[in-house]
Amino acid sequence: MTAYKSISWIAAIAWMAVIFYLSHQPGSASSDLSSGIVAALLDLMDRVAPALDFDVESFHTFVRKNAHFIAYFLLSLLSLNAWRSSGFRGLKQLALGFGMCALFAATDEIHQLFIDGRSGEVRDVLIDSAGAGLGVAVYVIAEKVWSLRKKNTEKSAKNRNNNKNFS
């Protein structure tokens, strides 16, 4: 196993461990963590735009659900990279990466059914999967842009070499 492949898989599995750790916290600890984040964001927003007035509870829910989305967005990028480092390309790589995220999201929500003060919600699996789906889309777009830039760079280098030969 190459170092890059090992690091790719370690990064993906480590991020899954972070997600598992956070979802293993009792409901009170999870609520305290998200409340602290919400309080810091509200303080920042009050400094930037003090005239804003909105429902704090709705904002709290927004932050919690976006945490799901962002966590699985990042997991999809890490898992796609890990699958690529293992030799998978194209549709198979995308299916394995997304599938890994969706399956982990579902099992994580089932796991939360056994944690005090937590619940497993289909809605969260859908939010997690949407984050993973956006990660897949961003990965595909970035790969296409990278490929086009590489082709253009190679084409420019080839043209420069051809022009030198005619001089």
Tens of pLDDT along the chain (167 residues) come to 799 999 999 999 999 999 999 999 998 888 888 888 888 888 888 888 888 877 888 888 888 899 999 999 999 999 999 999 999 999 999 999 999 999 999 999 999 999 999 999 999 999 999 999 999 999 999 999 999 998 888 777 777 777 676 65
Residue 32 has a CB neighbour count (10 Å cut-off) of 12
pLDDT at 165: 63
> Total domain count for the chain?
1
- Going by C-alpha positions, the residue among 44, 37, 40 that lies closest to residue 70 is 37
Rounded Cα–Cα distance for residues 118 and 27 (Å): 5
Distance CA 76, CA 8 (A): 12
Could you give the CA distance from residue 109 to residue 121 in angstroms, rounded to a whole number? 6
Q: Which residue range(s) make up the domain with 140? A: 3-166
Tokens representing residue 12 in the block? 């993906």
Extract the tokens encoding 25: 């916290």
Instruction: Report d(CA 79, CA 9) in Å as an integer.
Output: 7
Global pTM value: 0.85
Tokens 């829910």, residue located: 61
Residue whose C-alpha is closest to residue 31's, from 2, 8, 60, 52: 60
CA distance 134 to 107: 20
For residues 138 and 83, is the Cβ–Cβ distance under 8 A?
A: no
